[in-house]
Amino acid sequence: MNSAQFNVLAALMRCRFSPLLEAARLHMVYGATQTAAAAQHGVYRTNVVRLVTRIRKVQALVLQDHADGQQSEAPTPQSPENQISP
C-alpha cells in the first residue's frame, strides 16, 4: 500500500491525524513492525493492531466493491440468435 492509498482509506474511515494513525501508516506503508511503530509514536501496540485490522477490512470492502463494479460494467456477449437485426 502506498501513502495515497492509506490516506484514502483513513479518510473513508474518518480517521483524523493522531499518533495512532501515524503508527498504522508506519506499519502499513513503510513496513515497520507494529511493535516498532507503536513504540516510535508512543501508543499501545494492541491499539495499532486494532486500527490496522479495521483499515484492512475497509480496504477489502473497497477492493471487493471495485471488482464487483468492474464485472457489472463488462459487456456481455450476445449469441447471434439473440441479436436484433436492423
Would you kindly state where each structural domain of the chain is located, as residue ranges? 3-64
User: Is 2.30.30 the CATH classification of the domain at 3-64?
Assistant: no
Q: Per residue in 57-82, pLDDT tens?
A: 999 999 887 788 776 555 555 555 54
User: How many Å apart are CA 58 and CA 37, to the nearest integer?
Assistant: 21
Q: Per residue in 11-51, pLDDT tens?
A: 999 998 899 999 999 999 999 999 999 999 999 999 999 99
DSSP 29: T
pTM of the complete model: 0.75
For residues 5-10, give the mean pLDDT.
95
Q: In terms of residues, how long is the chain?
A: 86
Which sign does the torsion angle of CA 29, 32, 34, 38 carry?
A: negative
